[in-house]
Structure 1
Amino acid sequence: MDPFESELRVIEAAEELAATLGGDKNHTVAAAAMDTNGVIHRAVNVYHFTGGPCAEFVVIGLAATAGAGPLVTMAAAGDGGRGFMPPCGRCRQAMLDIHPDIMVAVPTDNGSQMRPVRKMLPDTYFFPEADSRRLLRFSKTYYDAVANGTKVTTVRFDDPVVPGPYIFIFEDDAEHRRLDGMVTKVQHYRLDQMTAEQACLTPGECVDEFRGGLRARYPELSDQDEVGVVEFELI
């Protein structure tokens, strides 16, 4: 997916730091990561024959030192004008375990794109002992409805939401507002068989129009696919 303005700032921060490198062969890659408060943390790699850490590893540690909590966005860039680059396999695994809901910037033929880290490691091993705090993303237009309790459900496709505590974040929100919440229930239904009641629609809402809205949001969604109805509350 195309990056939001806030995600573009993370890419720019990585590229700006990378542009200052080049005089020291031990530090050749820069990384930037944004936390849920909108703070961008930056760091560089440490190249060494014993296996020095990548820039993504260093910035994860730097953010933890600052008490940043879950990270929302990650980008890395190389020195010498190499531009931003995707993370290596080890960094992908670490991000999946420690920050499982992070979005990662990758270069494509169509320009900068954002990928959920779990999509970058299909059929991966997951390290449950990491006990990471989860994030649940919403459009920034839903902030008031979530904050005042009028919106207590959301429908997701191909998104592994499970019951438990979450930080609710609102995409590309200039104020970087966040709420602490709890996912209380997740139920799955086949799209073409889901009723208005199962979708938790309000009286008068048309389930066919609702299905059409989901297809527009998730172009890869078919009638035979299952979607998850997520119930949540603030804590």
Structure 2
Amino acid sequence: MDTTMNLPTEEDLELVEFARRVVESNGDGEVHTVGAAVRDAQGRMFGGINLYHFTGGPCAELVALGHARAAGARDLTAIVAVGDTGRGVLAPCGRDRQVLLDHHPGIRVLVPTVGGVRSVAITDLLPHAYVWAEQSAAADGAPYPAGTQTLAFHRTYLDAVRTGRKTTTVRFRDPVEAGPVNMVFELDDEVVLSGVVTHIASKSVAELTEADAVADGFRDLAELHDRLRFHYPDIKSTDDITVVHFRLAH
């Protein structure tokens, strides 16, 4: 047996039962088919249920993490997902493993094995993982400062940002705060520029102006609207967006 895997404790089994009750009480066999439960350092348990959608609705584990956070839980120690109709404990998908590693690197995950349910550290469940906090800036090889936020840009914007023609970016469903930022450009050889978000402004799509478009590097407002529809096909004129003002770091 893999020595990184532990037999479940009594608390672990209680967590499995909690997740089972979540899905058996609230599942519908179509959209809601998996329940999850997470435990914090104080022993409190928080449940979640998946929300299937063809665009990528959240898994039960992610919903449980959000529930725990909303309830004030910060130090999470264990998590499990259970399928409906008696399917038992389920292993998390790859996306969930990456989220757990990035946000809760000390958490343990209950998974099914040929010998029964076992508890495994997320670091062992996702070996040789991409660790966001440890990536290096391609521009100069310096490590990202801990906690620095990241803005991802399409490759076509690199020259405009470098030359200062583009000093804002309009974001939809992408939280940003004022402060240091690493601007990542998705080329074959990733380019990262260090910058500072100087301030942000919230408004609806309909409230965008010609000045917003020009500062964003576009010819006019019509071109900005076209680009927003390209990046966010479901965006509507009534949706709230964030205009992010930034500059390159000196």
- AA aligned to 2:91 is P
Aligned to 2:69: 64
State yes or no: 1:85 paired with 2:86. Answer: no
1:152-231 residue pairs with structure 2 within 5 A?
none
3-state DSSP class of the match of 2:46? strand
Please report how far the alpha carbon of residue 13 of structure 1 lies from its aligned counterpart in structure 2 after TM superposition: 0.8
The two structures, once aligned, show a CA RMSD in angstroms of 1.9
How far apart are the structure 1 equivalents of 2:100 and 2:27? 26
State yes or no: 1:113 paired with 2:115. Answer: no
How far apart are the structure 2 equivalents of 1:131 and 1:13? 35
Aligned to 1:28: 33
How many residue pairs are counted as aligned between the two chains? 132
Aligned to 1:14: 19
1:181-216: CA deviations, max 9, x gaps? Answer: xxxxxxxxxxxxxxxxxxxxxxxxxxxxxxxxxxxx
3-state DSSP class of the match of 2:38? strand
Identity among equivalent pairs (%): 42
3-state DSSP class of the match of 2:15? helix
Structure 1 or 2, whichever has the larger Rg, is 2
Please report how far the alpha carbon of residue 23 of structure 1 lies from its aligned counterpart in structure 2 after TM superposition: 2.5
Sort the Cα spacing of 1:131 and 1:9 in 2 relative to 1 into closer, same or farther, 3 A. Answer: farther
1:48-59 residue pairs with structure 2 within 5 A?
48-59=53-64
The answer on whether the counterparts of 1:103 and 1:115 sit within 8 Å (CA) in structure 2 is: yes
- AA aligned to 2:39 is M
3-state DSSP class of the match of 1:25? coil
Task: Give the counterpart of 2:109 among 96, 100, 104.
Answer: 104
How far apart are the structure 2 equivalents of 1:52 and 1:113? 27
Please report how far the alpha carbon of residue 125 of structure 1 lies from its aligned counterpart in structure 2 after TM superposition: 0.5
The answer on whether the counterparts of 1:14 and 1:84 sit within 8 Å (CA) in structure 2 is: no
State yes or no: 1:123 paired with 2:128. Answer: yes
Q: Compute the TM-score of the two structures, normalised by the length of structure 2.
A: 0.50
Sort the Cα spacing of 1:54 and 1:95 in 2 relative to 1 into closer, same or farther, 3 A. Answer: same
1:106-158: CA deviations, max 9, x gaps? Answer: 111111100000101111001218979xxxxxxxxxxxxxxxxxxxxxxxxxx
Q: Compute the TM-score of the two structures, normalised by the length of structure 1.
A: 0.53
How far apart are the structure 2 equivalents of 1:52 and 1:34? 23
